[in-house]
């Protein structure tokens, strides 16, 4: 679901811009859980954004239940989420915190984020769209606690994205879109390469967990 010791304001793309954009194909990858994952990218508001898409036999509602399980990501995600806390859940709007343990061999700092996600589910269509909660939004105590316990961790300077699931004749079309700037000392080009490489696993993790349930 996934990235300055102080948050820097940055003009990130809107969800409407992301969904209306002309995404360009940049390749495909095979994944044991979902078969072919198509990878696309587009530059919006100066940020290189990425999309991973695939087709599965799992219903949209089941897939949405997985990505909305923000605390469960500690268990089912292979991305390295080691902490997660749902801070509020009201009317399909989730506010939460997650912490990403970045492998030491990368020489990069760990990442954390406070996000607000909206969800929708009409049966044949389901979606979760997230955007950042600046300085933790209304969760000041939780935000300061994370900053105190993880003083070297970095909060992304931009982090906007979505999961979209649409049932069609050939199955459920899964689409994961993300626009992010890593912050800290990681060159954006390296972060972009890592995002592109991990897209198949990001999509595959969700489908695998939905099947398990």
Residue 1 lies in a domain: no
End-to-end CA distance of the chain: 17
pLDDT of residue 198: 85
Residue 9 lies in a domain: no
pLDDT above 90 coverage of the chain, percent:
81
Any residues with CB less than 8 A from the CB of 64 and at least 6 apart, and which?
119, 121, 126, 127, 128, 163, 165
DSSP alpha helices (H): ranges in 35-187? 60-67, 73-76, 140-149
**Beta carbons of 63 and 207 less than 8 angstroms apart:** yes
Residue 5 lies in a domain: no
Average pLDDT over residues 48-53: 95
Domain count, the chain: 1
**Beta carbons of 2 and 67 less than 8 angstroms apart:** no
Q: What is the pLDDT of residues 114-162, one digit of tens each?
A: 999 999 999 999 999 999 999 999 999 999 999 999 999 999 989 999 9
CATH number at 139 reads 3.30.530.20
Residue 74 lies in a domain: yes
What's the predicted TM-score (pTM) here?
Answer: 0.89
Which residue segment(s) compose the domain that 29 sits in?
15-212
């Amino acid at each position: 679901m996934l990235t300055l010791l102080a948050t820097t304001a940055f003009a990130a793309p809107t969800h409407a811009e992301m969904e209306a954009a002309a995404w360009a194909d940049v390749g495909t990858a095979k994944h044991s859980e979902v078969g072919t994952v198509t990878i696309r990218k587009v530059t919006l508001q100066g940020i290189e954004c990425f999309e991973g898409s695939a087709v599965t036999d799992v219903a949209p509602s089941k897939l949405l239940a997985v990505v909305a399980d923000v605390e469960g990501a500690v268990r089912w995600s292979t991305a390295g989420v080691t902490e997660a806390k749902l801070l509020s859940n009201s009317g399909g709007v989730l506010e939460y915190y997650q912490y990403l343990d970045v492998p030491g061999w990368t020489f990069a700092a760990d990442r954390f984020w406070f996000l607000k996600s909206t969800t929708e589910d009409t049966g044949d269509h389901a979606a979760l769209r997230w955007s950042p909660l600046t300085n933790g939004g209304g969760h000041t105590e939780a935000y300061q606690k994370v900053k105190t316990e993880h003083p070297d961790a970095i909060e992304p300077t931009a982090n906007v994205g979505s999961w979209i699931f649409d049932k069609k004749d050939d199955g459920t079309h899964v689409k994961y879109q993300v626009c992010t700037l890593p912050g800290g000392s990681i060159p954006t080009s390296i972060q972009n390469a890592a995002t592109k490489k991990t897209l198949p696993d990001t999509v595959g993790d969700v489908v695998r967990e939905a099947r398990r349930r």
